[in-house]
Structure 1
């Protein structure tokens, strides 16, 4: 990350463009996960996933397993490429339909609800706040 930080300081215009790209990806991925019918958002995320695939290399890990990783040639886009690849994996996984939104009005986080019974992004944060509110109303 130090290398990326230094590169961003040397290339502030490119860093700003990559930050905008990351924000668009976040917005479109959120739309894909909260509205599976949003074709525009899906196409946008798919484009980012395809770009990330072009900027990836297949390497062998210490455990002997192969894995795709963003190429160092991705430069400042390396973190965006990593997120885009993971987004593509999630959108290709049936578990994407278990993504739920936290009902807390000041949260907005998404989470995987594989049990089908989960309500909060985190019981320790939003769930605990809601429980405290419920108790104070009694």
Structure 2
């Protein structure tokens, strides 16, 4: 998501502005919860609107750039400041929410998981057969995941 220079810059900004860093972290947690709600319930208009607000705000601090592959892409600029990681996640979320495959997103049924996965063929049951699927068969438990 970010090169070493950008990460170093973000860490320095967080050290210089701890209150802004805390606010950005709070925003990221709230966004994560809203996106999770939006993806697990496509009819949740409140969650969609909350995600859309962040996505729209991200557009104001994004730049259109040419990648090494020659393709253009939108990226958050440094103008986003400490919100840059949230803006990057919001940009990716907007692409997912605009893709019809979003309706194939499923929640892992394991009691202690909560991970999301794409089930395009409608046959997948677990986030990972090697973890939750095998644990269900053997009776062991997944580590809890807090989606909020």
TM-score (norm 2): 0.87
Match for residue 88 of structure 1 among 82, 90, 94: 94
Matched, 1:52 2:54: no
Matched, 1:75 2:78: no
Q: Secondary structure at the match of 2:139?
A: helix
Instruction: Give me the whole-angstrom Cα distance separating, in 2, the residues matched to 1:77 and 1:109.
Output: 24
Instruction: Give me the whole-angstrom Cα distance separating, in 1, the residues matched to 2:122 and 2:98.
Output: 20
Runs of 4+ residues deviating >6 angstroms: none
- Select the structure of larger CA radius of gyration: 1
Match for residue 115 of structure 2 among 106, 109, 116: 109
Matched, 1:4 2:10: yes
Structure having the larger proportion of residues in helix: 1
Q: Secondary structure at the match of 2:64?
A: strand
**Unpaired segments ≥5 residues, structure 1:** none
Q: Provide, for residues 19-67 of structure 1, a one-character-per-residue CA deviation record: whole Å limited to 9, x for no partner.
A: 1100111010111111111111111000000011111100011111111
Instruction: Give me the whole-angstrom Cα distance separating, in 1, the residues matched to 2:64 and 2:19.
Output: 30
Q: Secondary structure at the match of 2:114?
A: coil
**Which residue of the partner structure matches residue 25 of structure 2?**
19
How many pairs were matched up? 134
Superposition RMSD on alpha carbons, in Å?
Answer: 1.1
Instruction: Give me the whole-angstrom Cα distance separating, in 1, the residues matched to 2:8 and 2:128.
Output: 31
**Which residue of the partner structure matches residue 99 of structure 1?**
105
